[in-house]
A and B are shown apart, each in its own frame.
Chain A
Amino acid sequence: MNYVLLAGAALTTLVVSLLVGPANVPLGDVLASPIVWQLRLPRAVLAFLVGGALGVSGVGLQALVRNPLADPFLLGLSGGAGLGAVVAIALHLPGPWALPLAAFVGAVGAMALVYRLGLMGGAELDPRILLLGGVAVGAFAAAVTTALVSLAEATELRNAFLWLWGGFSGASWTTVLVFLVYAPLPLVVLAALARPLDLLVLGEEPAQYLGADVRRLKRLVYLSASLLTAAAVAVAGVIGFVGLIVPHVCRLLWGRLHRTLFPTAFLTGGILLAAADTLARTVVAPRELPVGIVTALVGVPLFGFLLRRWTVS
């Protein structure tokens, strides 16, 4: 029943995002308009997929580090992506894909570094080490980024931050395809780990006693969730908040079992981001709002309402 409801909401969101936009497309022409096929549809699909991926990534990472504040970007990924993007611009790397590719490489590099730190001295991805390592790597990458921006002459660098703050302006069928190359594998891996993740939430030792291979589980979750986030960065920049809030919303509404959490988080994240992007494109037309601002403006009051309901009951 929940899934039917969510799928219905997802479909409605996508249809609405096709029908509205700053350009006036008559209802009869919607199926033939290049504006709908080349701009609105890929943009809505990409926003939905990225929102879903961030939601799922957030569920995985919050289970891994057992910290309600965990966010897909907490583990140094946004810092790494920013450094990659700024390096691409400072070195004048050519081609339309240089910026996203460099951001992806930067995010994966930061992920690898935090992973390495997390394994040092037999720490075995101890949540505390992961969180501290993530914050440290992120801060270091941010410092190098700021140094590059303040020393380099290119005024373009300022604009790298605009890109990095995230959005779906660059959406096309090609970006959807790029995302679909990276996303399915980590999504499937995470979904397959739903049962052992339920055990991990109880604590590492209990999970081990109950038969989960905790060592392997943690590595797989960390790598899959990070890869999902890095893929999202490559096509949409750093979109905060979705990966933090969506897992909590789903837990409040549909319980703590990961078998339910993963699909509901995917659909909820997708709906939230696709709806937010539609609002971003339309409410201040002909101008546009950065989508991250809309997700926060819409999502925070909703989250506050849910929290209140949760603490009262």
Chain B
Amino acid sequence: MRHWAQRTHLAGLVALTVTACARGEHVPARGDVAVTDDAGRRVTLAAPARRIVSLLPSFTELLFAIGAGDRLVGRTAWCDYPPEAVAVPSVGDGMPPSVEAVAARRPDLVVLYRSGPNVTAADQLERLGIRTVLLDLNLLEQLGPAARRLGRLTGHEQTGDSLAAVMDSLAAEPPIPSTRSLVFIVWDNPPIVIGGGSYLDHLAALAGARNVFHDVGSPSAQVAIETIAARDPDVIAVLSDRAVAPRYATRPEWRAVRAVRNGRFLFLPGQLFGRPGPRIMEAVRELRQRLQGGP
């Protein structure tokens, strides 16, 4: 049942991409394009954006997924997927964005993640006459709304809406019964773990794994090693591109945790797991496979 649901999601995505490519998604000729962003601002464009700078890897992936990748004229140094994105000029690491570097790309729309420094940067860009949109993207539930609005702003309304529908239904799916438990450890001293109400917590639930810190309400939290030992996760998930045991694995105080003692580390590449994005189904599938196969 579960697998079937996933396959339909995938099939849906493939079908969308194919139709989008076939029809070329012609831009509606008349009328304003308008959306409300997550900062509560009304973003109005006279015509769908043709020159876009994306200041978050997730936005870059979303834009390519809805068929608007060819509109990108700027990206961050972190935007490394899809491979075509790398050919787009980089405007720096985007933390905080260099307003000059962004403006130099002469964009007609800049897509920013809503955060304090980015709100300031957006104001500065607006003063230069460049339209900006500030979107939240921390949670699985925010992927759909982001895709929908990006579709509207780029004139790829149909593909945007379809991708959003897929993401929304994924976000609404009840978690399947978990077979394994895991903990996401993002830093060792002091130990910082991923809590409930986060993208990774949701992703783990969809893959059939129970985050032992699901009850911690915030996205990340400092905890004691003792607490990790007491909650006794089967596996320790580490966001890392290299399959090298983290340096705390050999520290004596961490030996109190069973999964550390047994070397049960699961290395999740940051490009796929470290950001919410349209490839979430792929991430869920890979996590499930690796949990079943054992770390």
Contact of A22 with B230 in the complex, beta carbons under 8 Å: yes
A23 touches B229 (CB 8 A): yes
B189 touches A170 (CB 8 A): yes
Kindly state the separation between the CA atoms of A285 and B93 in the bound complex, as whole angstroms.
36
Query: What are the residues of chain A within 8 A of B192 when measuring CB–CB?
Result: 159, 162
Cβ contact of A288, chosen from B222, B230, B256, cutoff 8 A: B222
A276 to chain B, nearest CB (A): 14
In the bound complex, residues from chain A placing their C-beta under 8 Å from that of B224 are 21-22, 39, 169, 281, 285, 288
Interface residue? B265 (CB, 8 A)? no
The interface residues of chain B lying within 8 Å CB-to-CB of A289 are 222
Q: With an 8 A cutoff between CB atoms, is A263 at the interface?
A: no
Chain B CB within 10 A, most for which of A34, A153, A170, A173: A170
Chain A 21-34 near chain B by CB (<8 Å), digits 1 or 0: 11110000000001
Binary flags per residue of B191-202, CB closer than 8 Å to A gives 1, else 0: 110000000000
The reply to whether the CB of A19 lies closer than 8 angstroms to some CB of chain B is no
Is B215 close to A, CB under 8 A?
A: yes
For the complex formed, measure the closest distance between the CB of A97 and the CB atoms of chain B, giving whole angstroms.
9
Residues of A within 8 A of B187 (CB): 156, 159, 162
Q: Taking CB as reference atom, which chain B residue is nearest A281?
A: B224
Counting CB contacts under 8 A, is B184 at the interface?
A: no
Taking the closest CB of chain B, its distance from the CB of A175, in whole angstroms, is: 8
Query: Which residues of A have CB within 8 Å of B191?
Result: 169
Tell me whether B253 and A288 are in contact (CB under 8 A). no
Within 8 Å by CB of B248, from A21, A96, A156, lies A96
A34 engages B222 (CB within 8 Å): no
| B161-198 CB contacts (< 8 Å) to partner A | 187-192
The distance in angstroms between the C-alpha atoms of A39 and B77, with both chains bound, is: 41
B255 within 8 A of A: yes
B250 at the interface (CB under 8 A from A): yes
Complex formed: what's the CA distance from A170 to B247 in Å? 12
- Minimal beta-carbon separation of A32 from chain B (angstroms): 14
B252 and A174 contact, CB distance less than 8 A: yes
Inside 8 A of A167's CB, which chain B residues have their CB? Answer: 189-190
Contacts A39-B225, A96-B250 known; A34 to B230 CB distance under 8 Å? Answer: no
**Distance A39 CA – B250 CA, assembled complex (angstroms):** 15
Q: Is B221 an interface residue (CB 8 A)?
A: yes
Residues on B with beta carbons closer than 8 Å to the beta carbon of A174:
251-252
Interface residues of A in 141-189 (CB under 8 A from B): 153, 156, 159, 162-163, 167, 169-174
Specify which of A172, A174, A287 lies most central, judged by the most chain B CB atoms within 10 Å of its CB.
Answer: A287
Interface string of A257-297 (1 = CB under 8 A from B): 00000000000000000000000010001111110000000
Contacts A23-B230, A96-B248, A285-B227 given; does A38 touch B255 at CB 8 Å: yes
- Contact sample, A vs B, 29 pairs, CB 8 Å cutoff: A21-B226, A22-B224, A22-B227, A23-B226, A23-B230, A38-B253, A38-B256, A39-B225, A39-B226, A39-B253, A42-B253, A96-B247, A153-B93, A156-B187, A162-B192, A163-B189, A167-B190, A169-B190, A169-B191, A169-B224, A171-B253, A172-B251, A172-B253, A174-B252, A285-B227, A286-B221, A286-B231, A287-B221, A287-B222
